[in-house]
Amino acid sequence: MNVLFMHFDPYFCQMESTLEAVSAQDMLSFEAFRNSVIADYKLAIMSREVSLLGRREVLTGKAKFGIFGDGKEVAQIALSKFFQKGDFRSGYYRDQTFMFALGVANVEDYFSQLYSDVHNDPFSGGKNMNAHFATAFVNEKGEWNNLTETLNVSADIAPTAGQMMRGLGLAFASNCFRNAKNKESFTHLSNNGNEACFCTIGDASTSEGHFWEAINAAGVLQVPLAVFVYDDGYGISVPTV
């Protein structure tokens, strides 16, 4: 599988230097490196088992519908290493490993949403489609949470490539915050415009006009949008070649 990584400077400069600092520290310890490789491997295996078990639950009629992320585990673990507090994700239904890696979801959450469990599905209380992830942007009173302190997942929607426009909008918001005159009013929403939006999409969905429009606009507006295409050669069961 190929993963396409696009970035628009200068927004990533700060992120890169932070990561370099962290990895330089970790590189001093073989033990820390070894532990992180083993933890990543464990996570990938766990996520693969979730896919296999989940598919069995669907095929035996215990869950009504299921779409899983097998085959995309390693790419998602890699991209989770770059996602920082205050960043946003606008993605789609194959992102379970990404969500596990960030700690936005655990196995229990995953199966709760698979069974549309009203009380335990943390993403939509059983209302959204399977594997459509989300985090809360507001509290129970409807007031904004401090989004600079959280890993932010904008709620997935069913139309393929629909995530592109939301991704673009979230990234454009960072541009606006960066240039805003009254920045001090928005410190709970934006880290001075330095956050980035991570957008994931499947290869078949890149045929949608929304994909090209968003890529074009991101380039023209110079917004902090990173787009990852999972090039698995299929759109559902139809091969792309």
Cα 220 to Cα 140: distance, rounded to the nearest angstrom:
38
Q: Among all residues, whose Cβ is closest to ligand TPP?
A: 202
Query: Per CB under 6 A, which of residues 139..168 are in contact with ligand TPP?
Result: 158-160
Cis peptide before 10 (omega within 30 of 0): yes
DSSP letter assigned to residue 20: H
Our finding on whether 47 is near ligand TPP (CB under 6 A) is: no
Secondary structure (DSSP) of 204-219: GGGGSHHHHHHHHHHH
Our finding on whether 230 is near ligand TPP (CB under 6 A) is: yes
Our finding on whether 232 is near Mg ion (CB under 5 A) is: yes
Query: Per CB under 5 A, which of residues 99..138 are in contact with Mg ion?
Result: none
Residues in contact with 42: Cβ distance below 8 Å, sequence separation at least 6, in sequence order: none
Pick from 19, 115, 5, 224: nearest CA to 123: 115
Instruction: Point out which span in 77-85, 141-149, 187-195, 225-233 binds Mg ion (CB under 5 A).
Output: 225-233
Per-residue mark of binding to ligand TPP, 169-208 (x: CB under 6 A): ---------------------------------xxxx---
Pick from 97, 81, 89, 101: nearest CA to 131: 97
Residue the block writes with tokens 């990895």: 23
Our finding on whether 234 is near Mg ion (CB under 5 A) is: yes
236 binds, among Mg ion, ligand TPP, none (CB under 5 to 8 A by kind): ligand TPP
Instruction: Point out which span in 91-99, 117-125, 168-176, 198-206 binds Mg ion (CB under 5 A).
Output: 198-206
- Which H/E stretch holds residue 2? strand 2-3
Binding site for ligand TPP (CB under 6 A): 94, 158-160, 202-205, 230, 232, 234-236
Where along the sequence are the contacts to Mg ion (CB under 5 A)? Answer: 202-204, 232, 234
